[in-house]
Amino acid sequence: MGMGKNKYSNKNILLMLDALSQVFLTNTRALEALYVINGLKPVARMSFSENYVPVIRNFCQNNNLAFETSDFKIMMNFKGNYSTKGSIVPADDSVAGHLFVYISMKDELAGKAKQAEAKQNVGEFGRLLGYPSCCVDFFKRNKPDEEKKSNDYVVPAMANSRGNVFSYYNNIFGRYFDLVLLSHCPCSFDCKKSIGLARKHEETISNYDGELKERIKRFLKSAVIYRDGAVYLMNNYVFDNKTVRFLNITATKRDDFYDLLSRNRKINANEHHFLLFE
Ligand SMILES: [Zn+2]
């Protein structure tokens, strides 16, 4: 066995998902790293509190992964575990913030992703992150509008979708709860290319951690209400044409609506717009 990249071919202990989760702190980021290591994704871009970035840098150095950081940092606005918005300051600003890190198996790709993001070259950036071209085009088209709004692309994706029953692979709402198979918002909830990508991700996860794979799948098979920017995700549901009944609810907001849902464990489907993932 040679040096460098070949060390990944024999399932080095550091590739165990547990170890990745400890270093990368969330499932979502650990999985992004796993996809990069397994050649499913050219580059992963993640944000970390700037104090934590040296931990990631060390990990990448010790494991022959290419690593770059953004020349700017961000003051994040969080929604659950997930942040879609923030304000930008230079990396050397004294205010504490988050940096973007770019991780790849190839040095030149991490650098290219950093440049593409800095220059706001959306097409190139999306391609480097391994997103389907239809979804990159969708992102590009909706960017001006989304930047003024929630910046999560959910509303235009819903507008592009037919019906309201979709494959759980495209349930992007799991991102708010750190259980998700895609890192981009699909161009529609029936985007075939995104389903294909999510399926590959799931296969890879199951090679390392069958239990996590099942946990993600169970979570994503859910009824979702997206209302005023908040996500209400209901598991173990049945739908009988008029009513959605469910056992569990998770939400990004603990408001009156959340209380109502958790009290009743059912809701009239005519009164609310649902997305059903199965
Ligand atoms: Zn697409």
**Which domain does 122 fall in, by range?**
1-129
Q: Which residues surround ligand 1, an ion (CB under 5 A)?
A: 132, 134-135, 187, 191
pLDDT of residue 34: 95
**237 is a domain residue:** no
- In this model, does residue 6 exceed pLDDT 70? no
Is pTM, for the whole model, over 0.75? yes
Q: Which two tokens stand for residue 258?
A: 């959340």
Domain-located, residue 63 = yes
In a domain, 120, yes or no: yes
* In the predicted structure, residue 46 carries a pLDDT above the cut 80: yes
Contact, 173 vs 226, CB < 8 A? yes
Position 111 in a domain: yes
**35 occurs within a structural domain:** yes
Contact 157, 186 (CB under 8 A): yes
Residue 225 lies in a domain: no
Pull the structure tokens for residue 117: 């993001």
Distance (angstroms) between ligand 1 centre and the Cα of 130 equals: 12
What is the Å distance from ligand 1's center to 157 Cα?
9
Q: Which residues contact 225 (CB under 8 A, 6 or more apart)?
A: 231, 232, 234, 267, 272, 273, 274, 275
Task: Work out the pLDDT band at 146, boundaries 50, 70, 90.
Answer: confident
Separation CA 240–CA 258 (nearest Å): 22
Q: Are 87 and 71 in contact (CB under 8 A)?
A: no
Place of tokens 């400890």: 22
Determine, yes or no, domain membership for 151: no
**Percentage of the chain lying above the pLDDT 70 cut:** 91
Q: What is the mean pLDDT of residues 188-217?
A: 96
The SS3 call for residue 83 is: strand
End-to-end CA distance of the chain: 43
Q: How many angstroms is it from 140 CA to the middle of ligand 1?
A: 12
Q: Do the domain assignments include residue 107?
A: yes
How do strand 165-166 and strand 274-277 relate by DSSP bridges? Answer: parallel
